[in-house]
Amino acid sequence: MPGTRPGMTPRMRYAVAMKRSRPTQKPLAKFAGTFVLVGAGKMGGAMLDGWLARGLDPRQLAVIEPQPGKPVKALARRGAALNPRDKAAATAIVIAVKPQTAPDALPPLRPYVGKGTLVLSIMAGRTLRFLEQMLSGAAIVRAMPNTPAAIGRGISVAVANAKVSARQRRLASDLLAAIGKVEWTSDETLMDAVTAVSGSGPAYVFLLAEAMTKAGIAAGLPAELAARLARETVAGSGELLHRSNLDAATLRQNVTSPGGTTAAALEVLMGADGFDALLTKAVAAATKRGRKLAG
């Protein structure tokens, strides 16, 4: 693989691949002040990588992470503040912790919230009302990204409370655009369905590849070949959908010859108890669970 060196571990080679596959993006707008990232796990780390790739100065960053990994420690050596004791109002606070830890993680953030501070939360299920109760008076944006953020190909849906200014909305868009596309809604009640479709959606796609692999093996293919065929077919089809200006239904129809092999398969998948019905039930179940988690 171009860019790799002898002796690199699989994790290092993976990191190179992810960096090479991240789309070219415009530089992050110049903003004064400090950006506080709370939680540098998979999603928080992806956002951090995106900001740095777009030119954010590490000296503007404060990272709150009880168990920092090597990348965060390396960032601290470049000037970022790691778990700082001194707290002052920040330009933006990005909350990327697990939602169940929020009651303990949020109160210590209050000293960072000033008159012009934007609070951007990517916690699933935690509502604007909850965040307002924990961080009284703050301008808050709630967003739901998804895991393709790791390669800059995620999509986030965001909703703002009444205190968010036009400038802060642009800032939130800019921070989220570092990991992919951004959509806005004015109806927070849609966020559970958003989580069920795009937040959980990558798992559905990975399950499709997994199921295709098993089906290929059942049809007589060697396991490794079946896995490669499934992986490349799902990845290539996703890229075709991404690049094409045709909708998914038209692309499906273009691949389906009347009376052919694809038509035979789709007759099963599109039956009364087929893929559409199953996925509708799955999204409904995820939406219901999201509402339950929100309390």
* pLDDT per residue as tens digits for the range 163-207: 999 999 999 999 999 999 999 999 999 999 999 999 999 999 999
Chain position carrying tokens 């070219």 = 24
pLDDT of residue 10: 46
pLDDT band with cut points at 50, 70 and 90 for residue 29:
low
Whether 196 maps to a domain, the answer reads: no
pLDDT band with cut points at 50, 70 and 90 for residue 247:
very high
Distance CA 291, CA 175 (A): 26
* For residues 109-124, average pLDDT: 96
CATH code of residue 275: 1.10.3730.10
Q: Which distant-in-sequence residues (6+ apart) come within 8 Å of 107 by Cβ? A: 134
Whether 81 maps to a domain, the answer reads: yes
Question: Same domain, yes or no, for 142 and 254?
Answer: no
Question: Same domain, yes or no, for 215 and 287?
Answer: yes
Question: Same domain, yes or no, for 159 and 227?
Answer: no
Residue 273 sits in which domain range?
A: 201-294
Whether 174 maps to a domain, the answer reads: yes
Average model confidence (pLDDT) for the chain?
Answer: 90
Question: Same domain, yes or no, for 137 and 178?
Answer: yes
Question: Same domain, yes or no, for 180 and 236?
Answer: no
DSSP characters over the chain? -TT--TT--HHHHHHHHHHHHSPP-PPPP---S-EEEE--SHHHHHHHHHHHHTT--GGGEEEE-SS--HHHHHHHHTT-EES-SS----SEEEE-S-GGGHHHHSGGGGGG--TT-EEEE--TT--HHHHHHHSTT-EEEEEE--GGGGGT-EEEEEEE-TT--HHHHHHHHHHHHTTEEEEE-S-GGGHHHHIIIIISHHHHHHHHHHHHHHHHHHTT--HHHHHHHHHHHHHHHHHHHHH-SS-HHHHHHHH--TTSHHHHHHHHHTSTTSHHHHHHHHHHHHHHHHHHHH-
* For residues 263-282, average pLDDT: 96
Question: Same domain, yes or no, for 141 and 264?
Answer: no
Distance CA 118, CA 138 (A): 7
pLDDT of residue 94: 98
pLDDT of residue 207: 98
Q: Is the pLDDT of residue 11 over 90?
A: no
Structural domain ending residue among the three candidates 144, 165, 191: 191
Q: Is the pLDDT of residue 17 over 60?
A: no
The per-residue pLDDT for range 131-147, each reduced to its tens digit, is 999 999 999 999 999 99
Question: Same domain, yes or no, for 174 and 60?
Answer: yes
Whether 166 maps to a domain, the answer reads: yes
Structural domain ending residue among the three candidates 164, 191, 218: 191
pLDDT band with cut points at 50, 70 and 90 for residue 215:
very high
Question: Same domain, yes or no, for 40 and 60?
Answer: yes
Q: Is the pLDDT of residue 13 over 60?
A: no
Q: Is the pLDDT of residue 5 over 90?
A: no
Question: Same domain, yes or no, for 259 and 279?
Answer: yes
Question: Same domain, yes or no, for 42 and 186?
Answer: yes
CA atoms within 13 A on the CB side of 257: 3
Lookup: tokens for 59: 């000296």
Whether 5 maps to a domain, the answer reads: no
pLDDT of residue 291: 85
pLDDT of residue 1: 44
Whether 4 maps to a domain, the answer reads: no
CA atoms within 13 A on the CB side of 153: 14
Residue type, 283: V
Whether 149 maps to a domain, the answer reads: yes
Structural domain ending residue among the three candidates 191, 218, 236: 191
Whether 126 maps to a domain, the answer reads: yes
Lookup: tokens for 85: 């004791």
The per-residue pLDDT for range 235-246, each reduced to its tens digit, is 999 999 999 999
Higher-pLDDT residue of 160, 294: 160
Q: How many domains does the chain have?
A: 2
CATH code of residue 41: 3.40.50.720
Length of the chain (residues): 295
Question: Same domain, yes or no, for 34 and 128?
Answer: yes
Question: Same domain, yes or no, for 249 and 212?
Answer: yes
Residues pairing with 64 in the sheet: 38
